[in-house]
Amino acid sequence: MGADGAADIIFRNESADLKQQKKDEYVAEFATPYQAAKHAMVEQVIEPKQTRPVIISALNMLKNKKEDRPYKKHGNIPL
């Protein structure tokens, strides 16, 4: 739905100028990753230009990772 649909529903009785103003306010306030970062919902905001190097470094860090799982004492019995 996004900002357009929400503004059309909420402000259906208002003028087109007011709807556009409310859409612009919504996009500026909520449609950015910086709001999520401000509320600690995301760990890091990556600029588009830096996406590839960040992903490569994260994958290199995980390349040799080995997960130790506990030994299973019991298996699944046939039913």
Amino acid in position 48: P
Q: Where are the domains of the chain?
A: 2-62
At 39-49, the pLDDT tens digits run 888 888 899 99
Tokens representing 78 are: 């046939």
- Cα separation, 47 vs 12, in Å, equals 36
d(CA 57, CA 48): 15
pLDDT per residue over 4-28, tens digit each? Answer: 777 778 878 888 888 888 888 887 8
| CA gap 34, 42 in Å, rounded | 9
- Percentage of the chain modeled with pLDDT above 70: 96
